[in-house]
Chains A and B, each alone.
Chain A
Amino acid sequence: MDRRDFLKTLAITGAAMAVQHSEAMDFLSQSVTGMNGEKIDLVAVMGSEPELMFRRAIEELGGMKRFVKPGQKVVIKPNIGWDKVPELAGNTNPKLVTEIIRQCFKAGAKEVTVFDHTCDDWQKCYKNSGIENAAKMAGAKIMPAHLESYYRPVSLPHGKVMKSAKIHEAILDSDVWINVPILKNHGGANMSIAMKNHMGIVWDRGYFHQHDLQQCIADICTLSPKATLNVVDAYRMMKTNGPRGRSVSDVVLTKTLFLSQDIVAVDTAATKFFNQVRDMPLDSVEYLANGQELKLGTMNLDKLNIKRIKL
């Protein structure tokens, strides 16, 4: 190769590296520049249908293309834990799941997978929640999670009580994963939102209950790979008898959605939102403080740039 070619090659590789480098920086940072250039930490939308609220919220953060690159394998982890229909607010709204899948494919994802380690019989949950159907119609793959053989052990060096866990292979083999919980009250942990949703990617949930539930919930969120986005479905929320719910009396139609990359912030915001319907002081949801201590995010919402939208 002669000198000119060599210099040209150098220039091109240098430019390419510069471009890659800055994108990686965006990826790792907690905030994303919004439509008007300001950094937005959390988006809260209220007053419309799940798919429309998500569309608006993701636009505020710069579009799905900021989080999903062409050719990537994406995993969407909704809450499919219970054998309940969408009206009973036990699981994530299937319309929201459909929209997220659609956006992922639009951003160029090669493959989208949906799963959850359910509490009730997995086939009934997948079917009656409407999520299996919604995912298949949107072109995503549905994976089972009911046997230990689907999980691989991963160490959690930053965990205080839980130092390792068996994680579902879909998460470990993905390029990007999106955490999509539903906002619910919880009999044991007090609230079940984005951090608690991580219990659906592990094999042994019993360990959490045996060894300090509130600390283990924070510990599991130290997992790498981290969820790129947390989308909290509060279209319907469960105010009592959670996480399973007993009847439609436990459900409130709140038509809201929260979106953030900061898992502690989004859970704090959702808890404060919940507090308007039923008393829920932040210190009774101990895993929030535990998460903040492990540097997973911040509970101090005043420090953050929050976009509140009413449709």
Chain B
Amino acid sequence: MLKKARICLAIIIFALITFCFLDFTETGNAHYYLSKIQFVPALLSSSLIILASLIILTLLLGRIYCSVICPMGIFQDIINWFAKKRKGKKRHFHYSPPRTLVRWGIVILCVLAFFSGLTVVIALLDPYSGFGRMMVNVFKPIYLSGNNLLANIFSSMGNYSFYRVNVALLSVPSFVIGICTFLLIGFLAWKYGRIWCNTLCPVGTILGFLSRFSLFKIRIDTEACNHCGVCSTKCKASCINNLEQKIDYSRCINCFDCLDDCRQHALSFTMPLRKTKQRQTSDESRRQFLIAGIATTTAVPNLMAKAKAVAASANGMKSDKRHNPITPPGSVSREHFLSHCTSCHLCVSKCPSHVLKPALMEYGIEGIMQPTVSFEKGFCNFDCTVCSDICPNGAILPLTKEQKHITQMGKVVFIKENCIVYRREKNCGACSEHCPTQAISMVPYKKGLTIPHVNTDICVGCGGCEYVCPAYPFRAVHIEGNTVQQKAKPFTEKKEEKIKVDDFGF
């Protein structure tokens, strides 16, 4: 009964979170709160109410969070289910002693890394963020391709209820890390059940500390128990020591798989308390591999960029390279953003303008995978506040539409030498066409031409101009990011003269 209830709830929450990451149709945002109640995001966004609720939940019911709320946990349970189907009766777990030194070592490493500005360590170890990256970088392209297949089938019959979308790998490192996460945690879950949760996951360790004091626990009635050991073969957390009739509560995730199989009915989920402890060795980091891979993948585009620069400077054109990366609107400052973001990529997935992408080296190597604003595929919609609404970590703080209109995440830079009007003396005006504030406007130039004129006070850095500038190989306009986001001056309109037209004019 408890097991069924747990499974039901877990499936609903998992489906909603997965849909939230994969969906591209902007189907409402009611399910965003499921990201906001995750432990690490709540911690980083200082959401005291959520944190308090999670702590109280754990103190009452133990590590139910790990079985019902954490999407990485439910993902591992799904893998387990497949493993059980394949291995059938041969699927046993065994009790194993806790690896306390590893678990707490990792938690301490995370804390130290956070305070020295290396949020990337938490980003890699946080199960929610890891799940998010897996979904957005590995599974979403598959989901989108499936959609495109359906769209092709339906549109060939004249029905346009499905529309095609662009499928692309936004970031090779994020994809690689996503695949590695999937393979590593998938493998561990397939062979060993919840070993990730109980050895490496820092959230598991912290909640495990609290669940030792929880009110409700799975308890063994030592008189009814006949030491048959069936319960410990079912325990995917490997925490039931049937010889000593003890359960390690820092590792029990309250999946309730053990309850129904005890033929002596010696197991139940009820009230009073207990304890355990032990130690072991630590791991080596995959940093070396990552660094080597990154170094090579950045070398090639670098060489190409240098070649482009040489060719263009011969023509008198200037490089349009952005020197200051742009953080999403509402992120307050680069420092605030980088210290709070654990790269779950929810904003990357949900941005309707496709403007957010995982950074490569823009924030330095310690900022790899953290979203940055790029105008390759679109420009930031003036009225849109999706990323600030959904960020569960508080890395991007909520903005109202009015606040968004004056949030300056960067300033426009006009390079006259690259502009088509200047070089070819032909009309263009593409930049000003897209500017929502007319920070870049067209002013009279020569011979009936108009040329861009820039007013950075009212610019919000939305990138409309950069996205659309057709100058090649270097654009004539681009946005330089603000390290600390500013307030743009709202544009002022001249007083409205009522215009009446009552004739055709020809």
Chain A partners chain B = yes
Residues of A bordering B, CB below 8 Å: 44, 46, 83, 119-121, 123-124, 141-144, 146-147, 149, 186-190, 205-207, 209-214, 239, 241, 243-244, 246-247, 249, 252, 254, 256, 268-269, 272-277, 283-284, 286, 301, 306, 308
Contact of A83 among B26, B383, B433 (CB under 8 A): B383
With A252-B501, A272-B505 known to touch, is A246 a contact of B430 (CB < 8 Å)?
A: no
**Closest chain A CB from B224 CB (angstroms):** 62
Q: Does B504 contact A (CB under 8 A)?
A: yes
Q: Does B427 contact A (CB under 8 A)?
A: yes
Give the B interface residue count (CB, 8 A): 45
A188 in contact with B166 (CB, 8 Å): no
A244 to B, closest residue via Cβ: B433
B26 to A, closest residue via Cβ: A123
B450 in contact with A276 (CB, 8 Å): no
Contact of A212 among B426, B503, B505 (CB under 8 A): B426
Cβ contacts B122-135/A at 8 Å (1 or 0 each): 00000000000000
A121 in contact with B378 (CB, 8 Å): yes
Q: Does B98 contact A (CB under 8 A)?
A: no
Contacting A at CB under 8 A, from B410-443, are 420, 424, 426-430, 432-438, 441-442
Taken together as a complex, chains A and B put the C-alpha atoms of A190 and B503 apart, in Å, by 22
Q: Does B90 contact A (CB under 8 A)?
A: no
With A124-B381, A213-B429 known to touch, is A273 a contact of B442 (CB < 8 Å)?
A: no
Contacts of B72 in A (CB 8 A): none
B428 to A, closest residue via Cβ: A209
Taken together as a complex, chains A and B put the C-alpha atoms of A100 and B160 apart, in Å, by 22
Taken together as a complex, chains A and B put the C-alpha atoms of A152 and B378 apart, in Å, by 23
A187 in contact with B433 (CB, 8 Å): yes
A281 to B, closest residue via Cβ: B448
A143 to B, closest residue via Cβ: B160
Contacting A at CB under 8 A, from B426-479, are 426-430, 432-438, 441-442, 448, 450, 468, 470-472
Q: Does B289 contact A (CB under 8 A)?
A: no
Contacts of A83 in B (CB 8 A): 381, 383
Identify which of B229-237, B337-345, B488-496 touches chain A: B488-496
A44 in contact with B504 (CB, 8 Å): yes
With A187-B429, A241-B438, A244-B434 known to touch, is A272 a contact of B506 (CB < 8 Å)?
A: yes
Contact of B493 among A246, A256, A269 (CB under 8 A): A246
**Closest chain A CB from B87 CB (angstroms):** 45
Residues of B bordering A, CB below 8 Å: 26, 158, 160, 163-166, 352-353, 378, 381, 383, 420, 424, 426-430, 432-438, 441-442, 448, 450, 468, 470-472, 491, 493-494, 496, 499, 501-506
Tell me the dominant secondary structure on chain A's binding face.
Answer: mixed
Other CB < 8 Å A-B pairs besides A121-B353, A189-B429, A239-B499, 17 of them? A44-B504, A46-B502, A119-B433, A121-B352, A123-B26, A141-B160, A188-B432, A190-B427, A206-B470, A213-B428, A213-B429, A244-B436, A269-B506, A272-B505, A274-B505, A277-B499, A286-B427
With A44-B504, A83-B381, A206-B470 known to touch, is A249 a contact of B429 (CB < 8 Å)?
A: no
| Shortest 4 CB-CB contacts between residues of A and residues of B | A188-B429, A187-B432, A272-B506, A187-B429
Taken together as a complex, chains A and B put the C-alpha atoms of A252 and B501 apart, in Å, by 9
B506 in contact with A273 (CB, 8 Å): yes
A115 to B, closest residue via Cβ: B160
A214 in contact with B426 (CB, 8 Å): yes
A249 to B, closest residue via Cβ: B493
**Closest chain A CB from B472 CB (angstroms):** 7
* Residue among B426, B432, B468, B493 having the largest count of chain A Cβ atoms under 10 Å: B426
Taken together as a complex, chains A and B put the C-alpha atoms of A67 and B496 apart, in Å, by 41
Taken together as a complex, chains A and B put the C-alpha atoms of A92 and B359 apart, in Å, by 39
A243 in contact with B433 (CB, 8 Å): yes
B429 in contact with A210 (CB, 8 Å): no
B429 in contact with A273 (CB, 8 Å): no
Contacts of B433 in A (CB 8 A): 119, 186-188, 243-244
Taken together as a complex, chains A and B put the C-alpha atoms of A120 and B436 apart, in Å, by 11
Taken together as a complex, chains A and B put the C-alpha atoms of A249 and B436 apart, in Å, by 14
Taken together as a complex, chains A and B put the C-alpha atoms of A241 and B491 apart, in Å, by 12
A237 to B, closest residue via Cβ: B501
A161 to B, closest residue via Cβ: B426
Contacts of A214 in B (CB 8 A): 426-427
Taken together as a complex, chains A and B put the C-alpha atoms of A252 and B436 apart, in Å, by 19
Contacts of B381 in A (CB 8 A): 83, 120-121, 124
Contacts of B496 in A (CB 8 A): 249
**Closest chain A CB from B464 CB (angstroms):** 8
B450 in contact with A188 (CB, 8 Å): yes
A243 to B, closest residue via Cβ: B433
**Closest chain A CB from B158 CB (angstroms):** 8
B162 to A, closest residue via Cβ: A144
With A275-B505, A286-B448, A301-B506 known to touch, is A147 a contact of B166 (CB < 8 Å)?
A: yes
Contacts of B427 in A (CB 8 A): 188-190, 212-214, 286
Contacts of A123 in B (CB 8 A): 26, 352
Contacts of B352 in A (CB 8 A): 121, 123-124
Contacts of B158 in A (CB 8 A): 141
With A186-B429, A213-B427, A244-B434 known to touch, is A284 a contact of B160 (CB < 8 Å)?
A: no
Contacts of A186 in B (CB 8 A): 429, 433
Taken together as a complex, chains A and B put the C-alpha atoms of A111 and B164 apart, in Å, by 22
With A121-B378, A187-B429, A209-B430 known to touch, is A273 a contact of B450 (CB < 8 Å)?
A: no
Taken together as a complex, chains A and B put the C-alpha atoms of A155 and B425 apart, in Å, by 27
Please name 16 pairs of A and B residues whose Cβ atoms are closer than 8 Å in the assembled complex, sorted by A.
A46-B502, A83-B383, A121-B378, A121-B381, A149-B164, A188-B442, A190-B427, A209-B470, A212-B426, A214-B427, A247-B493, A272-B504, A273-B504, A275-B505, A277-B499, A306-B506
Taken together as a complex, chains A and B put the C-alpha atoms of A81 and B504 apart, in Å, by 26
B504 in contact with A308 (CB, 8 Å): yes
A81 to B, closest residue via Cβ: B433
Taken together as a complex, chains A and B put the C-alpha atoms of A282 and B258 apart, in Å, by 85
Taken together as a complex, chains A and B put the C-alpha atoms of A206 and B475 apart, in Å, by 12
Taken together as a complex, chains A and B put the C-alpha atoms of A44 and B501 apart, in Å, by 14
With A144-B163, A272-B506, A276-B505 known to touch, is A249 a contact of B494 (CB < 8 Å)?
A: yes
Taken together as a complex, chains A and B put the C-alpha atoms of A119 and B448 apart, in Å, by 25
With A206-B430, A209-B430, A243-B433 known to touch, is A147 a contact of B164 (CB < 8 Å)?
A: yes
Taken together as a complex, chains A and B put the C-alpha atoms of A211 and B424 apart, in Å, by 9
* Residue among A189, A214, A243, A244 having the largest count of chain B Cβ atoms under 10 Å: A244
Contacts of B428 in A (CB 8 A): 188, 209-210, 213
B441 in contact with A187 (CB, 8 Å): yes
Contact of B470 among A187, A210, A249, A274 (CB under 8 A): A210
A142 in contact with B434 (CB, 8 Å): no
Contacts of A244 in B (CB 8 A): 433-436
With A123-B26, A210-B420, A272-B505 known to touch, is A188 a contact of B430 (CB < 8 Å)?
A: yes
Contacts of B26 in A (CB 8 A): 123
Contacts of B420 in A (CB 8 A): 209-210
